[in-house]
Amino acid sequence: MSDDPYLRRYDVTKGFSAGFLIPAGAALTAAALPFVFDEDVPPWVTISVITVIVLLAVWVAAAYRRAATILYENHILIRTAFGTRRVAWEDVQEIRNERNSGADQHNLPKRVMVLYDRDGRRIGLPHLSEWAVDSLDEELRVLRDLWTRRRGEDWAPLPEVTAKLNAVTAKSEKAAEQLGLVSIAVGGCAVWPVLAVFLILGLNTDVLDGMSGNVMAVVLVSVFPAVSLLVYVPLALRRRRRRR
């Protein structure tokens, strides 16, 4: 397979991503500071730690620069810090954007692009995330268009891979629904401090004088579901747009 010319390339040819390297550099610097300013630490320990951290920083920078997703006429080249993989267009079973599990905990992009090959392996595409491109959905449209035009007329989805994709989709949707329920609960519970202030004012001032008990009951009972609905509807619409 020839690697030249390529159809499209995703890498860091225009420079490093500040969203990745600045946090990484800050973490490495923070790891070194205790050894630098601790007078009780022997000099050789400090020098060793700084050397390891510098080498690690160089490796991270080199690995980040090496990573790339390159589209050729006959295949996709996926290059990471640990190796290079070529996937022929006809061996691709699916290309799609997925939610990145653990994104919130580790400060990573929430949506990334992945492909599934004929063996059902999930392969991440370097530099194809919501942080790396302007529109991940637009890039997905481009890749899927190239794929459908180059995979061949004899291409067909493999049942075992389709079953795996359906299971992954069901798991992702379940996680999204659970997140939606948590958001609804949090959004609904957020109104209770407001209701507490409402009751305190009503009991200790004359602000609510003249308001009937029935009206107050309706307000107290309806606020929670109303706020929950306001939280749920945008989340539901957002998930629906992503499924299209």
CATH number of the CATH domain containing 49? 2.30.29
My answer on whether 88 and 174 are in the same domain is no
pLDDT of residue 239: 53
* Domain contains 2: no
Q: Is residue 165 part of a domain?
A: yes
> What is the distance in angstroms between the CA of the first residue and the CA of the last residue of the chain?
34
Of 150, 181, 207, which residue is a domain's last? 150
Does 16 score more than 80 pLDDT?
A: no
The pLDDT > 90 percentage for the chain reads: 34
Q: Are residues 143 and 165 in the same domain?
A: no
165 and 105 together in one domain: no
CA 224 vs CA 53, 159, 230: distances in Å: 51, 46, 10
Is residue 1 in some structural domain? no
Mean local confidence (pLDDT), 194-219 = 58
Domain of residue 226: give its range: 159-243
Whether the per-residue pLDDT at 230 is higher than 60: the answer is no
Copy the structure tokens of residue 31: 């790891």
**Same domain flag for 141 and 106:** yes
State the pLDDT at residue 37: 73
DSSP state of 205: S
116 DSSP β-pair partners: 94, 122
Q: Are 136 and 130 in contact (CB under 8 A)?
A: yes
pLDDT tens per residue, range 62-99: 888 889 999 999 999 999 988 999 999 999 999 999 98
Number of domains in the chain: 2
What's the pLDDT score for residue 2?
47
- 31 & 114 share domain: yes
139 and 201 share one domain: no
Per-residue pLDDT at 215: 56
Residues 138 and 189 occupy one common structural domain: no
Residue 190, pLDDT score? 57
Question: Residue 113: CB partners within 8 Å, gap ≥ 6?
Answer: 95, 96, 97, 98, 124, 125, 128, 129, 136, 139, 140, 143
Same domain, 52 and 164: no
Per mean pLDDT, which range of 5-9, 54-58, 115-119, 133-137 is the poorest?
Answer: 54-58
Q: Does any domain span residue 129?
A: yes
Residue 204 pLDDT level (bands cut at 50, 70, 90):
low
Listed residues 150, 171, 189: the one ending a domain? 150
- Least confident residue range of 8-12, 23-27, 196-200, 217-221: 217-221
Task: Based on the fold, state whether residues 44 and 132 are members of the same structural domain.
Answer: yes
